[in-house]
Structure 1
Amino acid sequence: YCSKNSVSRLCLPQFLSITKCSMDASFGGPSPVFPRINVRDPYKRLGITREASQEEILAARNFLVNQYSGHKPSVDAIESAHDKILLESLKERRRPKFDLQGKWKKVTQSHVVKFIASRFETPTIEVILKTAAVFLVLGIWSFLSPMEDGPIHQVALSLAACMYFIYSRLQSYWRAFLYG
């Protein structure tokens, strides 16, 4: 066990290496390396909390840059952490203070909206295309064959087509007849 007060033969090499390293930095030797150079979190890298103000962030950056100014990778790591924190705060300031999507979700989740939405079903594409084709043919037939009496046959066929499509959805003759 080595202590500062007692330097034995076993501790001498360790003591000399510590003394040599500390003397190198003060006399222009190799610059000290930033110990948190590989830490991913920019706040931990600068040694500050997430609640730190802009002044504290800038003070920590300036202190660390001055302390490790001789080692370029250390300065780059400190600068990148400072840049990440600044970009994060810029994104936070640009983000709207109120939540529009949350407001709309609350509106669509009311009981009235749920009741109305449950009353309607979105038909499949096949049903929509079949219905559109039938009524397109009936519309073209009405336009191409004008009659003096009026389009009685076309209206009757349109009513029958409506009742058929309602029946295919509801599976009830009486309800299809009443709705048609």
Structure 2
Amino acid sequence: MSDLSHYEKLGVDEDSSFEEIQEARDRLLETCKGDRRQAEAIETAYDAILMERLRMRQEGRIKVPDRIRFPERIVEPAPDYAPTPAKASPEWLQRLVDTPSRNDVLLPGGLMLAAALFSLSSPPVALALGVSFCFYFLNRKEHKFGRAFLLTLIALVVGVLMGLGIGSVLATMLGGMGLSPDAFAAMLTMVLLWVVSSFLR
């Protein structure tokens, strides 16, 4: 039995694809369900074709599609929908907020703490030191003198006003701790100056 007769047995030709050969075999097996001899002849023809195809493939006479040779390279098609992008913070806020390193937080924090402790004896001098530290660290980040001056001034005014307001409400409690409202306002301002100098730019 020649190779060609195996193709003829299944009703396909040498150019048929693997899927076509497999479909022809399945179709013929369905038609001869009770005939064991005919089913064996169909399976023998199918196996002979597969062996010939394998030999031809090994010899390089059959080009195997890349989707079969390299299934990992198949790229999934892009989804029909485009996911909505995450809402980013406004550009002006991104330009203002900084993500500091640990040293950029600890060094100003240590200096502000020293100034806050100094405010127990002399709040105005402590405020002057705190303002100097804040201005220095802000200006060092981007060398924008005007922005550093403005942010430092805003932090100073807000810190002093908040500190004096809260200090007047808590005057009796602060007096019991031996802390004047001015010293409390200076300490609160130091905290605000530290936050501004560390997390803004």
TM normalised by structure 1 equals 0.36
Q: Which is helix-richer, 1 or 2? A: 2
TM normalised by structure 2 equals 0.34
